[in-house]
Amino acid sequence: MRRWWIWIVAGLLPLQALALSGEEVMKKSQAAFLYPGKDFKARVMMKLINKDGQERLRELTMLRKNAGGPGGDQKYFMYFFQPADVKDMTFMIHKYPARDDDRWLFVPAINMVKRIAAQDKRSSFVGSDFTYEDVSGRDIEDDNHIIERQEKVGNRDCYVVKSTPKGTDADFGHKVTWVDTANFLPLKEEQYDKRGNRYKLFTADEVTDIKGFPTAIKRTMKNLQTGHRTEVAYIKTDYDLGIEDSLFSERYLRQPPRKWID
Amino acid sequence: MPGIRSIAVALFAFAALAPPGTSAEVTLSGFLQQNTASNTVTANPDGRNYKWLEERAQLKLDATGDAWRVLLKGEVAYDHLGRQDEGELREGYVDYAARSWDLRAGRQVITWGLGDLVFVNDVFPKDHEALFAGRPLEYLKRGVDALKLGAYPGFASFELVLARFRESRTPDAQRFWLFDPMPSVANRDRVKPDEGDAGLRIYRDIAGYDAALYLYRGYQRTPSLRPNSMIAPTRITYFYPKLSVYGASLSGRAGAGVLSLEAALYDSRQDRSGNDFTVPNSQTRMLAGYQVQPVEDLTLNFQYYAERMHDYGAYRAALPAGFPVEKRVNHYLTARATQLLQHQTLRLSVYASYNPSNGDYFVNPELRYSFTDRLWGAVGGNLFGGKPWGQFGQLSRNDNVYLQVRREF
């Protein structure tokens, strides 16, 4: 009898070792989605579409540099092309996983660099349906993550991970993320409000390989309760360009170098 | 219209001289704008009912190469209230950027310091009339003709500004009711400094805080008045007293928000003893500001600002009878609330400044909406009150409501 029991355990062991926890899946997903490469650059075309189909365009160049590995500090630099009233505006974020970001805004009309108060990571990014957290990531430790099941999105196998905030400060009740089992990109995410109603839907609409990094170059965030949605297209996406640390400074906020913002 | 002519010349020169095949990227943009500010209390001193009524067009040319950039921003306006020659070169400069230094030459807007409509280290010229007449915020600043050198050796950043003196624009006495200590003297002239001014800003990060030092040697931007005689004045001369400013600022995260601290010593070089009542005495200025975002798209900004006059005894002794007496210390409290709505296309904001020492106040509520990505409009009001000679109190009969509409192209 004893021997039979050992065989059962031995049979299960490799499975246990291979299986990932919800937290590990989300960590790998964060690394694949928000941290690929040492640095990153894209021209971002953001279309804000209301339920009547009226469109507004936000066009910017986004640059990112990682200070350490996945989950570590990051610096973001953004230069706005459109709309016309924010042309030449630049925006910089120093992102720290465990505490609030530092943010600076350069207002060209009065040639002034201002620090921006930024404790609310759940606030909208430039008026879109994406929050700052959707753009630059939410701390993994802020939520409990449980793998609920595996299922396909299109023809891709995905882990379905339910993430529930540990604290009460989040504006959502929980979210469910479909994470590609092969490349760990989030292909779909549903955010639920505190009453348990689905209110936001993220989809990665087109994924392509850039310098070996699978990248969601088209993505949509839809507010299911208002019908407003934001469609994002990354063009001229590139990784590992050797962006210097000095770019993320007041000097270049005021005078962004052409080679980086083009 | 010298401004427009120089823009046209520069445009042609650029088109003619730009070497073929240079990798310059040239963009042309601009806007058409309507701006009206209507009195709500009483007509202007000149009898008109508008503080501002104009149509304005801006043309902006931006040519960027790898290390250099040319920017020209010129405007023409049609003023319905009788001002002539409303052509202006707002900005027009050439940039050159090397690895550890850069240079900007030409007319440019320079803003120093951290204040929100409170100026401690921002010693550069402003347009106070624009602020009080309901014009868009960018008109608060006037460009200066300057050479600006930046140096970035690593341990700190340096910004040296050598400029031709340009004064701040004060409200026009035809349009604004203003305090005038000698209203009967009509013969007035203005003397501007012949020499330029110079400023140096040194800044760096210290433990996560943005720290800066500021040095300025030049002149007051708003004029002082000197009558030719105290007993029977027949002529008043406006002049710009010599001034040096030594200041510092610090800003960074504190608790849930951003803390800003700023201080400066205003060294009134033309009246160090304080005995000349026509020249402002030396001052110490201090500012503490705190900005928070309590909920999504709502930002609150609070400021405490104080001005302390040096040599107050000498000032009181020298001040002729009948002139309003300034306080030794003036305190100001300001608050701004900004709420963004409708995917940040609708902005509601209120700015209020209050001086508890003399009851001076200024309130500016505004609603701004972007109809499309290229068309926005704003409506707002300017409300003033306080003592008849106070900074805002003297403006109390100038309350107005304004409209701004801009179509960008």
Give A184-232 pLDDT, tens digit per residue.
Answer: 999 999 999 999 999 999 999 999 999 999 999 999 999 999 999 999 9
Q: Does B260 touch chain A (CB under 8 A)?
A: yes
Give B81-122 pLDDT, tens digit per residue.
Answer: 988 877 999 999 999 999 999 999 999 999 999 999 999 999
Instruction: Quote the CA–CA distance of A259 and B20 in Å, as a whole number.
Output: 20
Which residues have CB under 8 Å from B368's CB, separation 6+?
Answer: B346, B347, B349, B376, B377, B378
Pairing of strands B400-408, B375-385: antiparallel
| B203: nearest CA partner in chain A | A250
Question: pLDDT-derived band of residue A2, with 50, 70 and 90 as boundaries?
Answer: low
Q: Does A251 touch chain B (CB under 8 A)?
A: yes
> For chain A, which residues make up each domain, given as ranges?
28-261
pLDDT at A119: 65
Pairing of strands B400-408, B298-309: unpaired
Question: pLDDT-derived band of residue B223, with 50, 70 and 90 as boundaries?
Answer: very high
Mean pLDDT confidence for B277-292: 97
Mean pLDDT confidence for B331-335: 97
Give B341-366 pLDDT, tens digit per residue.
Answer: 999 999 999 999 999 988 999 999 99
Whether residue A23 is predicted with pLDDT greater than 70 in this model: the reply is yes
Contact flag B343-A110 (C-beta cutoff 8 Å):
no
Instruction: Quote the CA–CA distance of B194 and B215 in Å, as a whole number.
Output: 20
Long-range contacts of B9-16 (CB under 8 A, 24+ apart): B10/B70, B10/B72, B10/B92, B11/B61, B11/B72, B14/B61, B14/B63, B14/B70
Give B169-178 pLDDT, tens digit per residue.
Answer: 999 999 999 9
pLDDT at A254: 95
pLDDT at B9: 57
Question: pLDDT-derived band of residue A262, with 50, 70 and 90 as boundaries?
Answer: confident
Contact flag B292-A87 (C-beta cutoff 8 Å):
no
Contact flag B297-A112 (C-beta cutoff 8 Å):
no
Is the CA virtual torsion B43, B46, B49, B53 positive or negative? negative
pTM: 0.91
Say which range, A3-12, A27-36, A198-207, B324-333, has the weakest mean pLDDT.
A3-12
| A49: nearest CA partner in chain B | B343
Closest partner residue to A250 (CB to CB) among B110, B137, B203 is B203
Contact flag B137-A109 (C-beta cutoff 8 Å):
yes
Whether residue A17 is predicted with pLDDT greater than 50 in this model: the reply is no
121-140 in chain B: CB under 8 A from chain A = 136-138, 140
Write down the ipTM of this complex.
0.91
**CATH 2.40.160.10, domain B2-408, yes or no:** yes
Measured at the alpha carbon of residue A205, what is the angle toward residues A93 and A232, in degrees to the nearest 5?
40
Give B155-174 pLDDT, tens digit per residue.
Answer: 999 999 999 999 999 999 99
pLDDT at B229: 87
- Amino acid in position A227: G
Average confidence score pLDDT of chain B: 93
Whether residue B60 is predicted with pLDDT greater than 80 in this model: the reply is yes
* DSSP letter for each residue of B64-92: E-SSEEEEEEEEEEEETTS----EEEEEE
Burial A238-261 (b: 16+ CB within 10 A, else e): ebebebeeebbbbbbbbbbbbebb
In whole angstroms, how large is the CA radius of gyration of chain A? 20
Secondary structure element (H or E) that encloses residue B5, with its range:
helix B2-17
Which residues have CB under 8 Å from B369's CB, separation 6+?
Answer: B345, B346, B347, B376, B377, B378
Which residues have CB under 8 Å from B139's CB, separation 6+?
Answer: B127, B130, B131
Contacts of B260 in chain A (CB under 8 A): 115
Mean pLDDT confidence for B57-77: 94
Contacts of A122 in chain B (CB under 8 A): 296
Whether residue A261 is predicted with pLDDT greater than 60 in this model: the reply is yes
Mean pLDDT confidence for A93-100: 87
Contacts of B345 in chain A (CB under 8 A): 56, 127
Say which range, A22-36, B76-90, B361-375, has the weakest mean pLDDT.
B76-90
Q: Does A124 touch chain B (CB under 8 A)?
A: yes
> For chain B, which residues make up each domain, given as ranges?
2-408
Instruction: Quote the CA–CA distance of A71 and B316 in Å, as a whole number.
Output: 63
**CATH 2.50.20.10, domain A28-261, yes or no:** yes
Mean pLDDT confidence for A56-82: 95
Closest partner residue to B137 (CB to CB) among A56, A110, A117 is A110
